[in-house]
Amino acid sequence: MSRKVIYLNLLKDANEQAVEKLGDGLKTKYSRNGFRRFFGNSYEVIQYDVFEMLRVHKLGVLNWSSSISQEELNAIRLACQGAWKIFVSAHGHMNCTDYVYGGQFYGKEPLAKWDQVSSFLTYLLPNRNDKYKIELMICYAARTMAYREGQQARIAPELLSTSLAYKLFKNLGENRTVRVTSRSGATGFDELQGCITVETDEHAELEYERRTVLETPDYKNLKNWVSTLTSEQKRVLGQKFLISFNSNGGNYDVIAAVQANGENEEKFKRFALAQARYRDIRAHQNTLSNQSQYGTICYDMENSGIKIKNVFTSEVFYEGSWI
């Protein structure tokens, strides 16, 4: 009898690239002959798209929409009850330790808070004797409230408890026996190799800088100002300052060297410099490679307590009672 690997997708668009890559990657990983020979089992990957179920569940109502039948719900709960491992996929934000997102999160409302997610998972995972093994495929879920700091060295317990992953783990652990594995960086899946990839702390810091460049009040004001210009004004200013951006970087220095004459050119130059800075950071990020197991944190219930371990370095961050 095959072991069941359940993939619970919380993203709204089931055709999103992240959803398809994870689904394809899991099938690649668990269909490999080497993997099956080593562990002595065959595996079946089953995907359930449960965005709508979570959306309804968090409202606290039991009358599911017409698109969610009781038969479907029962089938998912039965599959989870017999699962060997469960993957949970959603979007996350490096400086948000409370919410998950069902779509690209910038400018979007969150899908659910951590306690709503854990309540939903508890509902989908019936009580059983065996420990549930849960993999959170949620970017930055293991990152603590001190998100600008490195996450690989030993982290103080009071900080460990601030991560989204720990909050989910603790809430789930009140009613189920679980082991939760999560990552401190942006999480991906190499669908060809069948392995999880994680960005490094350096990449995460650059991501924070990149995202904030275009979110400053000055840039937003400049963007609004540019929208008021005529097509001819945009063309003239663009020809002078909006160069054809080099994917290898160096754009900021090129634009900074262009002489601005008059108020309009000064303002447009600041607008172009922000975009250049954004692209230069991206160019730097592209030189960094993600690593398998980097930033992987395991939260486990054992010996009447818990253990939190950095899988990448094998260092035990914490062992004892609930934090």
Domain that holds residue 234: 206-285
Residue 90's beta-bridge partner residues? 138
Q: Residue 145, SS3? A: coil
- Angle at alpha carbon of residue 209, lines to 276 and 270, rounded to 5°: 35
Strands (E), the chain: 3-9, 43-49, 83-93, 96-101, 112-113, 132-138, 178-183, 187-190, 195-198, 296-302, 305-310, 315-320
Are residue 43 and residue 185 in the same domain, yes or no? yes
Beta carbons of 318 and 306 less than 8 angstroms apart: yes
pLDDT, tens digit only, all 323 positions of the chain: 678 999 999 998 888 877 887 888 788 777 765 455 455 568 889 999 999 889 888 877 555 555 577 888 899 999 999 999 999 999 998 788 999 998 765 446 789 999 999 999 999 999 999 999 999 999 889 988 766 565 566 677 888 899 999 999 999 999 999 999 998 887 777 666 666 766 665 655 666 677 778 788 888 899 999 999 999 999 999 889 887 788 887 888 888 899 999 999 999 999 998 888 888 877 776 776 655 566 788 999 998 899 999 887 788 889 999 99
Q: Which of 241, 141, 120 is nearest to 185 (CA)?
A: 141
Are residue 242 and residue 277 in the same domain, yes or no? yes
Are residue 67 and residue 153 in the same domain, yes or no? yes
Are residue 94 and residue 49 in the same domain, yes or no? yes
What's the structural domain count of the chain? 2
- Residues ≥6 apart with Cβ < 8 Å to 198: 183, 184, 185, 186, 187, 188, 290, 291, 292, 293, 294, 295, 296
Are residue 107 and residue 241 in the same domain, yes or no? no
What's the pLDDT at 107?
47
Q: What are the backbone angles phi and psi of residue 102, rounded to the nearest 5°?
A: -95, -5
Are residue 159 and residue 271 in the same domain, yes or no? no
Are residue 91 and residue 146 in the same domain, yes or no? yes
Are residue 267 and residue 180 in the same domain, yes or no? no
Are residue 118 and residue 221 in the same domain, yes or no? no
Using the structure block, give the residue that is written with the tokens 């009358």.
63
Are residue 89 and residue 32 in the same domain, yes or no? yes
CATH code where residue 190 lies: 3.40.50
Are residue 256 and residue 296 in the same domain, yes or no? no
What's the pLDDT at 214?
77
Are residue 279 and residue 312 in the same domain, yes or no? no
What's the pLDDT at 206?
65
